[in-house]
Structure 1
């Protein structure tokens, strides 16, 4: 039986390992964190069904455990070759192939200083809000309930000024989901979403967007916030332009939520340089063929799954894991193709 190393123990990595095991291979998950789950560990409820994230994560972990898949946590891959993975502590792991499922990095909202994240009270990111929802305590810094909440889309996405020209794909739907959750918690609050354009590409997404407007009375304003500043009352004043009417807009809010996008991992460049892999202009890894070889890397024996190649939602990452396992099977058994 062939041993395949899966780099990354997030949803894509876990599904890749499960599918590899079903194909008769021996997968080994190498995860740099202390436990499996990746970014999914920090999410509250999943769009568009509002399924609790811990239910999906728990089921994936259960399947991995029941399958007897070996997991090496607290271990980081430093060098990747088709027949060997070298860890940061110098250990070398022999293998017959590698699937890279190292995912993405969240954009650091502090880079966009004009929005005041890390400077002013009550400016949060979408990740902060997910954590607060998980903890069951969403409140302003002074403990009060927010009366007016603003969400800003595309922070760290579609922004050439911070070298992030790509669309992060899931920010729009995340903003709609979180706006609905805030309206459920604070039905008396006014909730505004400021956007460039709403991209609702997935099944059930457009329906959720309509529910947000019709059933939750959430306000959607086409226009980006240019800056945020504190008021003497301790609120956040935002300046924007309603691009549908062409009018400037000034508003004070109690809470500003920045919907941060996905960016490529910093070590993608090092990974590409040492192994002959390719990066896309966005910094994500470039697959061998976007249509007929999306799981392949262009280097024999190295494969991809999940958001290491582009921003993806959870369902796409899980499907990627199954597809990567099939690509590995064909690579290991060329006569059976």
Structure 2
């Protein structure tokens, strides 16, 4: 059996956790991976998170482990790929500035973009001081200080699920899969960061499907006093003292509610990044890249020599993302042996 030679370069397009994992495994297999990352650092969205569900493990531990694994791997940051072509000899990636990178194969790990909460004007994001996104709340957790714009600690916080997910009005029909459990985790973290805070989660359908998720949901209620209301917020307004007044219908009891909170957190979903429409690869109805086969070819694209991993093909958990990156690297070894 022929073994891959170290000079065989594999392009890894995206330097989030999927790209880092894929590159590390490719190096173990004897290839020479090259990570091409559009931002100024590796780690993707996970690098901005505080703790991970359902174990509350610090996200930094995952990033540090992956960073150590790719420490000696060649990386180009600030490198956004505009086109990707392949033939029998390999793959060519070209940036918007015309730089060319060649490899025997490429694994696309471009991840996802966060939904722009400003598109849901009824919630006041960008207009009202104390309406924030779940990503911004994560940054507060990381700094160790959760506060309103005034600097005061909030006494009442509402978390709204499915902002930019399962929403026909903004063309986002898909479920982002991890928002529900993120809302549960963040509710717990809020009660730990701000003693005495009252947290209410507004949801459409609570989807706590993973191992340990249902247990975390129960813990949030029993041990942390988090309230859950099945209902969609129809409107958010700002009061004179910069609180947020909510109009919502409790669909379980069939009656409207009004509530004033100090902070409204919008759980923003995942959307396909712009590159999904520019690299020449087929996409799915949700905008993410389409795998060759959703059952037996999830890491294969329809283009020769191009592989897919992680949230490039749709919303996934961290565990699913890392496992798929390993699978893509192993498949490249199999195909190029």
TM-score range for the pair, normalised by the shorter chain length: over 0.9
Residue in structure 1 matched with residue 162 of structure 2 by the alignment: 154
CA distance, structure 1, for counterparts of residue 111 and residue 136 of structure 2: 19
Q: Is the 8 A contact 2:154 2:263 kept in 1?
A: yes
Residue in structure 1 matched with residue 232 of structure 2 by the alignment: 224
Structure 2: which 5+ runs fail to align? none
Q: Deviation of residue 81 (structure 1)?
A: 1.7
Find out whether 1:294 has 2:302 as its counterpart. Answer: no
Q: Please, which of 213, 219, 222 is the counterpart of residue 205 of structure 1?
A: 213
Find out whether 1:330 has 2:334 as its counterpart. Answer: yes
| SS in structure 1 of the partner of residue 257 of structure 2 | strand
Q: Please, which of 4, 14, 37 is the counterpart of residue 10 of structure 2?
A: 4
Q: Deviation of residue 186 (structure 1)?
A: 2.0
Residue in structure 2 matched with residue 64 of structure 1 by the alignment: 70
Q: Deviation of residue 210 (structure 1)?
A: 0.6
CA distance, structure 2, for counterparts of residue 14 and residue 105 of structure 1: 18
Residue in structure 2 matched with residue 318 of structure 1 by the alignment: 322
Q: Please, which of 301, 306, 313 is the counterpart of residue 309 of structure 1?
A: 313
Task: Give CA deviations for 1:199-239 in whole Å, capped at 9, x if unaligned.
Answer: 11111111100100111110000001001001223211001
Show structure 1 runs of 4+ deviating over 4 A: none
Find out whether 1:105 has 2:113 as its counterpart. Answer: yes
CA distance, structure 2, for counterparts of residue 203 and residue 287 of structure 1: 26
Residue in structure 2 matched with residue 283 of structure 1 by the alignment: 287
State the superposition RMSD in angstroms.
Answer: 1.0
TM-score under structure 1 normalisation?
A: 0.95
Task: Give CA deviations for 1:139-186 in whole Å, capped at 9, x if unaligned.
Answer: 111111211110000000000100000000010011000000111122
Residue in structure 1 matched with residue 195 of structure 2 by the alignment: 187
CA distance, structure 2, for counterparts of residue 192 and residue 285 of structure 1: 35
Q: Deviation of residue 19 (structure 1)?
A: 1.2
Find out whether 1:241 has 2:264 as its counterpart. Answer: no
Task: Give CA deviations for 1:305-325 in whole Å, capped at 9, x if unaligned.
Answer: 110100011111100110001
TM-score under structure 2 normalisation?
A: 0.95
Q: Please, which of 39, 50, 53 is the counterpart of residue 56 of structure 2?
A: 50
Q: Please, which of 15, 21, 25 is the counterpart of residue 19 of structure 1?
A: 25
Q: Is the 8 A contact 2:146 2:194 kept in 1?
A: no
